[in-house]
């Protein structure tokens, strides 16, 4: 019989030790994420894990140096860690996790793919201060919401972020996970004194899904949204039988952010979702009324009107953090442009951008991006490239400053100040 996990200590506070042990036991039983280990670098990219593109998204400009120090906080089996190493060839990467079983997989994953600029630590996120030094980029995906005290966790991380550094956070959203919460409760009720036996929990959950009527809302949501990944028991266990989970809404996620010591909220990594015009754009009056709301109220209005959101993904920074707005045309003309490292298909006219969305390049965009590619040492400015394009192709369409701004907004071109 598995031990029942006490939710609180005797004084009513979260029982950090017992809950942390339960979480470690889950991931020792089902190391997560369960992606296959490859004998080569992982395919594709995630721009949030690339130091250059993540920094450019946050600051509007490329970082001053590439030899960043990166922390993968709660690295699990090293799927994200491996990407962080391969996408940042000059960076030093550190991974930490509570589960020794997951770390064993992470070490083997990175060894097999040649991700050799990484060190791993078997630590709780609360104990990150045991790792010496500060970090330029902290990546914490899918971790804080599994802590018994998430605010203490984000505070521990904030103290390790270097001045001018950025932190990438991913936590669950309650609105789009409502059916998951119901299934979690159903499994817990049927497990009773077997709580903490995760193999039994997966078995119980599988039998519930097999028994539910075809028109059941929980079953339909799982089939529509989650079934493709949940055929693996590790994914199923992480979603439905986790011993500790906190799901957020806008109000509570900003309570979490506000707990981060002295850090600045830079924005969500999916700004298109938070654009109210896609929901209220047909009503100028409602759009005008929305402008009277605070930023957080507009975020809340967005999520209650479109409650499909399953997670929040955002960036924080430790001041001083300088943002480049490029409002002055002269600043853009003298800036040094580079092709983004996070796009696929170039040099085709139709490419996938940093978010794996299709972009069809017109003649001007194609011409300028080709000129950037021919500038690998990144020494020539936008203005110099304009002059070279005109000199070599006087009768061809060149590229306007507006097109350059559009390429930058799409993160296809990254800029550095001269």
* Contact between residue 397 and residue 366 where contact means Cβ atoms under 8 Å apart: no
Q: Which of 197, 218, 240 is the last residue of a domain?
A: 240
Residue 31 CA to residue 41 CA, distance in Å, equals 20
Number of H helices, E strands in the chain: 18, 11
pLDDT at position 5 is 45
322 belongs to a structural domain: no
In this structure, are 75 and 150 located in the same domain?
Answer: yes
Q: Is 413 helix (H, G, I), strand (E, B) or coil?
A: strand
Structural domain containing residue 410: 329-416
64 belongs to a structural domain: yes
Residue 317 CA to residue 262 CA, distance in Å, equals 9
Tokens at 103, concatenated: 């770390």
pLDDT at position 398 is 63
Low pLDDT (below 50) residues in the chain: 1-6
Name the helix (H) or strand (E) containing 100. Answer: helix 100-113
36 belongs to a structural domain: no
Residues 6+ apart with CB under 8 A from 304: 175
In this structure, are 77 and 181 located in the same domain?
Answer: no
398 belongs to a structural domain: yes
Name the helix (H) or strand (E) containing 334. Answer: helix 329-334
In this structure, are 116 and 251 located in the same domain?
Answer: yes
Residue 205 CA to residue 227 CA, distance in Å, equals 13
167 belongs to a structural domain: yes
Q: Which of 221, 240, 259 is the last residue of a domain?
A: 240
User: What domain count does the chain have?
Assistant: 3
In this structure, are 62 and 142 located in the same domain?
Answer: yes
Residue 58 CA to residue 73 CA, distance in Å, equals 20
In this structure, are 202 and 167 located in the same domain?
Answer: no
In this structure, are 186 and 141 located in the same domain?
Answer: no
Q: What angle do CA 205, 80, 174 make, to 5 degrees?
A: 45
* Contact between residue 316 and residue 327 where contact means Cβ atoms under 8 Å apart: no
Distance from the Cα of residue 194 to its chain's centroid: 34
* Contact between residue 247 and residue 205 where contact means Cβ atoms under 8 Å apart: no
How many other C-beta atoms are found inside a 10 Å radius of the C-beta of residue 349?
A: 13
In this structure, are 52 and 123 located in the same domain?
Answer: yes
Identify the CATH number of the domain in which residue 262 sits. 3.40.50.150
In this structure, are 94 and 205 located in the same domain?
Answer: no
Q: Which residue pairs, CB below 8 angstroms and at least 24 apart, start in 223-226?
A: 225/310, 226/180
Name the helix (H) or strand (E) containing 229. Answer: helix 227-230
pLDDT at position 8 is 54
1 belongs to a structural domain: no
C-alpha closest to that of 36 among 232, 222, 206, 230? 232
Tokens at 55, concatenated: 């920094």
In this prediction the pTM is 0.94
Q: Is 94 helix (H, G, I), strand (E, B) or coil?
A: strand
Residue 105 CA to residue 82 CA, distance in Å, equals 11
In this structure, are 157 and 219 located in the same domain?
Answer: no
In this structure, are 85 and 189 located in the same domain?
Answer: no
C-alpha distances (whole Å) from 79 to each of 24, 27, 108, 366 are 18, 14, 11, 34
Residue 407 CA to residue 177 CA, distance in Å, equals 35
* Contact between residue 239 and residue 230 where contact means Cβ atoms under 8 Å apart: yes
214 belongs to a structural domain: yes
In this structure, are 69 and 168 located in the same domain?
Answer: yes
Tokens at 71, concatenated: 């922390």
* Contact between residue 206 and residue 199 where contact means Cβ atoms under 8 Å apart: no
In this structure, are 58 and 198 located in the same domain?
Answer: no
141 belongs to a structural domain: yes
**Cis amide linkage into residue 232, ω under 30° from 0:** no
* Contact between residue 7 and residue 195 where contact means Cβ atoms under 8 Å apart: no
pLDDT at position 396 is 58
Residue 213 CA to residue 220 CA, distance in Å, equals 10
Residue 208 CA to residue 180 CA, distance in Å, equals 13
């Amino acid at each position: 019989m598995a031990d029942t996990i006490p939710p609180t200590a005797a004084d009513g506070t979260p029982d950090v030790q017992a809950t942390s042990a339960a979480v470690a036991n889950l991931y020792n039983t089902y190391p997560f994420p369960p992606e296959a280990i490859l004998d080569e670098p992982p395919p594709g990219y995630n721009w949030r894990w690339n130091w250059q593109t993540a920094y450019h998204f946050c600051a509007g400009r490329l970082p001053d140096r590439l030899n960043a120090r990166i922390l993968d906080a709660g690295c699990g089996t090293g799927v994200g860690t491996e990407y962080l190493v391969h996408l940042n060839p000059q960076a030093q990467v550190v991974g930490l996790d509570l589960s020794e079983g997951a770390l064993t997989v992470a070490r083997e994953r990175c060894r097999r793919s040649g991700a050799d600029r990484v060190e791993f630590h078997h630590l709780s996120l609360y104990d990150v201060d045991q790792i010496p030094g500060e970090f330029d980029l902290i990546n914490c995906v899918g971790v804080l919401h599994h802590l018994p005290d998430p605010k203490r966790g984000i505070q521990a991380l904030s103290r390790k972020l270097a001045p001018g550094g950025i932190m990438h956070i991913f936590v669950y959203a309650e609105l789009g996970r409502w059916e998951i919460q119901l299934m979690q409760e159903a499994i817990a009720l049927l497990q009773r004194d077997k709580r903490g036996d995760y193999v039994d929990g997966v078995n119980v959950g599988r039998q519930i899904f097999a028994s539910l009527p075809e028109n059941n809302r929980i079953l339909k949501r799982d089939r529509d949204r989650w079934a493709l990944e949940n055929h693996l028991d590790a994914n199923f266990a992480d979603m439905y039988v986790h011993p500790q989970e906190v799901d957020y809404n806008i109000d509570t996620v900003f309570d979490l952010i506000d707990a981060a010591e002295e850090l600045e909220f830079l924005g969500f990594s999916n700004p298109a979702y938070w654009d109210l015009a896609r929901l209220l754009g047909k009503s100028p009056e409602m759009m005008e009324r929305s402008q009277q709301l605070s930023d957080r109220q507009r975020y809340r209005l967005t999520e209650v009107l479109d409650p499909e959101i399953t997670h929040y993904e955002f960036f924080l920074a430790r001041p001083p953090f300088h943002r480049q707005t490029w409002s002055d045309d002269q600043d853009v003309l003298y800036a040094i442009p580079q092709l983004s490292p996070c796009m696929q298909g170039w040099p085709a006219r139709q490419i996938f951008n940093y978010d794996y969305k299709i972009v069809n390049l017109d003649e001007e965009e194609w011409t300028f991006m080709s000129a950037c590619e021919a500038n690998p040492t990144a020494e020539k400015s936008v203005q110099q490239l304009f002059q070279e394009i005109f000199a070599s192709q006087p009768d061809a369409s060149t590229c306007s400053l507006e097109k350059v701004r559009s390429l930058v907004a799409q993160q296809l071109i990254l800029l550095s100040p001269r």
